[in-house]
């Protein structure tokens, strides 16, 4: 339960805040023994709220009371009076004026005014123990009546006809007013911002350049052509695949299922040389959406293979699950009978019957494994008088996602990683952040609701969010919204 001190002694306001913050402890200035006079001399609602919040915060700090401070400033703004009474609403008729005197002055000023539009505004500041703060604003719109109506015990309510309630605030119950009041709306925004300030998205995450490019090229073709075929999943992202299917785009996994008049989309992971050869021989049009970084590897291994090098591919070829990653499959198809290494134990078993070797790396392979494996292979080759060269072809985008995400993991209580369950780069990302902080792997934004229900993540937790290189930015933002709205 959060403890908040409301910078007010107004019993009506305290009651309203307690009703809205129903599960939290709200203390008044009287509860903490604060009786200092605060001079609200700001030029705006926000300035006045901050003045009050800082004064109470200083008092709590001195008394060593651990609580945040909530301070608000609110008032009535009338269009035809250029926003008056505004920040002077409580003292409109004079420094110590009563509510009745303030209303009388307002009615006098409004006697000849045809435009009676007005709105209440409330600005709330929450000042935290560490000295940081957030603020929110709420508005409710209506018109000024010609005479007092209903309950006259609170401010200008009996003169304000609410557009949303279609009745005067003076005739409304506190429950009715709370649902539409400026203060209620400001509190809702404040609660949203409270949760938002504890959710952090990694500065680098989500769709990499290659993934963005493949989707962009595909969407361009959707606008131009009717008969488009995806040859295998364009990305390891079920949401993307579903979205494309909803646009009428069919995915096939066999070249024989492609017709001559189809326009074929080659996935971001790339394809073996023979796939392109087949399509060209059959005069089937295609759009090559292979990631440029992957394409560069394809051409590199083809070149080195022609130069007589035995190609070694570091990557997920199926050592542990007998399932070759599509990028590795594609690279292998640009050279003859390459050697594969996925596990450290395979290094000592490398076939050393060739004179020279050239090594490349799956773009999403573990950077730690890559560094270790290359070091060991270099030593093995040197000890056996072999010519050895390599290029570390791990994608820099993937490296940046991992670097920024692991740094974020050090600063939060829990990490949530989102991406396709069969996405190699997302699995790698999850493995890396899991070494630092308790982490959860989800595939879709909606999956986080189960974590909330199980209380794996709670209100008050600092939550870090990151995503694999095939995850849409809008899905990451949707994940954040779901967390805020369900905590």
Contact (Cβ atoms closer than 8 angstroms) between residue 268 and residue 294? yes
Residue 234: CATH number of its domain = 3.40.50.11270
User: Do 303 and 337 fall within a single domain?
Assistant: yes
Q: What is the pLDDT of residue 22?
A: 67
Are both 168 and 221 inside the same structural domain?
Answer: no
- Determine the Cα–Cα distance for residues 24 and 11; give it in Å rounded to an integer: 17
Taken in order 156, 158, 160, 163, the sign of the CA dihedral is positive
pLDDT, tens digit only, all 487 positions of the chain: 678 999 988 887 888 788 777 656 889 999 999 999 898 899 999 999 999 999 999 999 999 999 999 999 999 999 999 999 999 999 999 988 999 999 999 999 999 999 999 999 999 999 999 999 999 999 999 999 999 999 998 899 999 999 999 999 999 998 898 889 998 899 999 989 999 999 999 999 998 888 899 999 998 888 887 789 999 988 888 888 888 888 888 899 999 999 999 999 999 999 999 999 999 999 999 999 999 999 999 999 999 999 999 999 999 999 878 889 999 999 999 999 999 999 999 999 999 999 999 999 999 898 889 999 999 999 999 999 999 999 999 988 888 999 999 999 999 999 999 998 888 889 999 999 999 999 999 999 999 999 999 999 988 899 999 999 889 999 999 999 999 999 8
* 300 shares its domain with 287: no
462: domain CATH number? 3.40.1010.20
Which tokens sit at 61?
A: 């700090």
Whichever domain contains 22, its CATH number is: 3.90.950.10
Same domain, 91 and 57: yes
Task: Please name the residue that has the structure tokens 């390459």.
Answer: 338
Whole-number Å distance between alpha carbons of 366 and 460: 33
Task: Return phi, psi of residue 314, to 5°.
Answer: -85, 120
Q: Are 336 and 416 in contact (CB under 8 A)?
A: no
Q: Are residues 117 and 230 in the same domain?
A: no
Domain edge (last residue) among 241, 257, 291: 291
Q: Is 14 helix (H, G, I), strand (E, B) or coil?
A: helix
Shared-domain flag, residues 173 and 213: no
Are residues 110 and 18 part of one domain? yes
Structural domain total, the chain: 4
- Do residues 219 and 283 both lie within one domain? yes
Structure tokens at 271: 């394809």
Strands (E), 315-404: 339-341, 356-361, 387-390
Element (H, E) at 371: helix 367-383
Structural domain boundaries enclosing 228: 209-291
Are residues 77 and 148 located together in one domain of the fold?
yes
Q: How far is CA 164 from CA 119, 122, 177, in A?
A: 12, 17, 10
Q: Which candidate, 140, 23, 25, places its Cα nearest to that of 6?
A: 25
**The last residue of a domain, from among 172, 196, 220:** 196
Final residue in a domain of this structure, among 255, 275, 291 = 291
Cα separations in angstroms, 436 against 421, 423, 427, 443, 463: 21, 21, 15, 21, 14
Same domain (yes/no): 352, 229: no
Quick count: other Cβ atoms within 10 Å of Cβ 16?
20
Q: CA 257 → CA 54, 81, 232, 247, 254, distances in Å?
A: 70, 73, 11, 19, 6
Among 126, 327, 428, 443, the one annotated catalytic: 327
The torsion of the CA quartet 314, 320, 326, 331, rounded to 10 degrees, works out to: 30
Contacts of 193 by beta carbon, 8 Å cutoff, 6+ apart: 134, 136
Residue 114 known to be catalytic = no
Is residue 155 helix, strand or coil? coil
Regarding whether 161 and 36 lie in a shared domain, the answer is yes
The conformation of residue 340, written as its DSSP 8-state character, comes to E
Q: Are 7 and 155 in the same domain?
A: yes
233 close to 251: Cβ distance less than 8 angstroms: yes
CB–CB of 289/218 below 8 Å? Answer: yes
Cα distance between residue 304 and residue 358, in whole Å: 7
CA distance 169 to 171: 5
Distance CA 210, CA 296 (A): 12
- Helical residues (DSSP H) of 9-158, grouped into ranges: 11-20, 29-32, 45-63, 99-109
């Amino acid at each position: 339960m959060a403890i908040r001190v409301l910078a007010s002694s107004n019993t009506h306001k305290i009651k309203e805040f307690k009703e809205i913050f129903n599960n939290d402890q709200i203390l008044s200035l009287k509860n903490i023994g604060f009786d200092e006079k605060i001079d609200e001399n700001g030029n705006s609602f926000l300035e006045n709220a901050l003045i009050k919040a800082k004064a109470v915060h200083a008092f709590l700090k001195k008394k060593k009371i651990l609580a945040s401070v909530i301070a608000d400033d609110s008032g009535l703004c009338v269009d035809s009076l250029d926003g008056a009474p505004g920040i002077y609403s409580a003292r409109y008729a004079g420094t110590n004026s009563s509510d009745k005197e303030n209303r009388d002055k307002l009615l006098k000023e409004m006697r000849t005014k045809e435009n009676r539009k007005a709105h209440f505004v409330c600005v709330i500041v929450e000042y935290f123990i560490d000295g940081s703060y957030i603020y929110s604003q709420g508005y409710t719109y209506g018109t000024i009546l010609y005479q007092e109506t209903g309950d006259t015990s609170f401010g200008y309510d009996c003169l304000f006809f609410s557009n949303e309630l279609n009745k005067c605030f003076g005739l409304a119950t506190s429950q009715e007013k709370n649902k539409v009041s400026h203060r209620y709306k400001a509190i809702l925004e404040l609660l949203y911002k409270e949760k938002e300030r504890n959710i952090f998205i990694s500065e680098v995450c989500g769709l990499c350049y290659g993934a963005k490019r493949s989707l962009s090229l595909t969407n361009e073709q959707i606008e131009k052509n009717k008969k488009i075929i995806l040859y295998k999943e364009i990305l390891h992202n079920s949401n993307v695949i579903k979205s494309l299917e909803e646009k009428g785009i069919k995915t096939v996994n066999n070249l024989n299922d492609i017709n001559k008049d189809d326009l074929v989309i080659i996935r971001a992971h790339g394809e073996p040389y023979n796939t392109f050869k087949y399509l060209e021989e059959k005069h089937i049009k295609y759009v090559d959406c292979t990631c440029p970084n992957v394409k560069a590897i394809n051409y590199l291994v083809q070149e080195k293979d022609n130069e007589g090098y035995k190609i070694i591919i570091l990557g997920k070829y199926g050592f542990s699950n007998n399932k070759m990653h599509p990028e590795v499959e594609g690279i292998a198809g640009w050279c003859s009978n390459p050697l594969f290494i996925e596990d450290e134990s395979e290094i000592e078993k490398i076939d050393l019957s060739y004179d020279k070797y050239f090594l490349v790396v799956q773009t999403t392979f573990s950077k730690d494994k890559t560094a270790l494996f290359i070091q060991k292979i270099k030593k093995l080759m040197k000890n056996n008088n072999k010519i050895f060269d390599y290029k570390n072809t791990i994608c820099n985008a993937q490296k940046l996602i991992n670097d920024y995400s692991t740094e974020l993991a050090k600063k939060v209580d829990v990490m949530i990683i989102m991406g396709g369950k069969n996405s190699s780069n997302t699995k790698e990302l999850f493995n890396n952040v899991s070494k630092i902080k308790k982490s959860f792997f989800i595939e879709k934004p909606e999956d986080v609701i189960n974590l909330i229900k199980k209380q794996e993540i709670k209100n008050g937790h600092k939550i870090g969010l990151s995503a694999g290189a095939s995850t849409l930015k809008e899905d990451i933002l949707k994940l954040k919204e779901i967390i805020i709205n369900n905590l």
